[in-house]
Structures are given as C-alpha cells and as structure tokens.
Amino acid sequence: MRMAFVVLMLTLTTVGCAVDTASPARAAERFHAALAAHQEEAACAMLARKTADKLPDPGQSCADALRELRFGPGGQVTSVAVWGEDAQVRLAGDTLFLHRFTDGWRIRAAGCEPMGDLPYDCEVDD
C-alpha cells in the first residue's frame, strides 16, 4: 500500500501543482505593449538570450530588427498553456512561446503562425 501511496502522491503532485499562467501572460502582453509604444529596446530586453542573439542581421541592432518586422497589435490574451518551464500564450493577434529563466519569463518566439501539427512559423525565434 505504501507503493500505491507514493504513486498516488506522484500523480497528485504532477497534476495538483497550481500552475501560474498569469506571469507568462503578463510577459507576452508587456512585450507587445513595448512594441506598440515603439520601445523596441525594451522589447529586446524581454527576449530570451538565444532569440535576441539570432534576431539581428550583421551590423544591425536587436531593436532595429524588431522595428523592421512591423509586428501587428497583440490584443487580449485568449489562452495560456504552461508545461514545465515552457509556455504558449495566444493573444488575439499573435501567438508567443516563452521559457521561464531564473529572472522570470522571457520570449523565445513571437509573431508565430500555426502550421498544423508542425512547429509554428515565427517571425522571431531561437
């Protein structure tokens, strides 16, 4: 019975942990708010390091690269999925993928379009 208890606890801890969906949602909204306010440098500071490194062309800054991409408005949050350290936030006008680092949620990919069951096609990714 002890084993059954351990397995049950394993299930409950996996299922029962309260998932914080508000933090990644806020991070996604702040990213789009910065873009809407033409604060591309602030938006760049919210990107995951690999994403920020990959984004600019040679000789270009991250902010310039974001400016060129001309993101549309993000809009309201419509759904949030959090699994482990990764999250997907759907806004009315965009889908973003985020990762939780020690300093909080950062944007891994944005401007993403669904491609069926294949990976999303994103304007910005890592």
Q: CB-wise, 15 or 18, nearer to another protein?
A: 15
Give the span between the Cα atoms of 25 and 87, in whole angstroms: 9
- Min CB(114)–another protein separation in Å: 7
Q: CB-wise, 68 or 85, nearer to another protein?
A: 85
Q: CB-wise, 46 or 87, nearer to another protein?
A: 87
Task: List the 94-101 sheet strands across, edge first.
Answer: 77-83, 86-91, 94-101, 104-115, 118-124
- Min CB(8)–another protein separation in Å: 6
Q: Rg for the chain (alpha carbons), in Å?
A: 17
Q: Which residues contact 7 (CB under 8 A, 6 or more apart)?
A: none
What residue ranges bind another protein (CB under 8 A)?
Answer: 1, 3-4, 7-8, 10-11, 13-15, 48-50, 81, 83-88, 97, 99, 101-102, 108-109, 112, 114, 117-120, 122, 125-126
Amino acid at 81: A
Mode of pairing for the β-strands spanning 104-115 and 94-101: antiparallel
CB 48 within 8 A of CB 126: yes
- Min CB(23)–another protein separation in Å: 15
- Min CB(21)–another protein separation in Å: 13
Q: CB-wise, 32 or 99, nearer to another protein?
A: 99
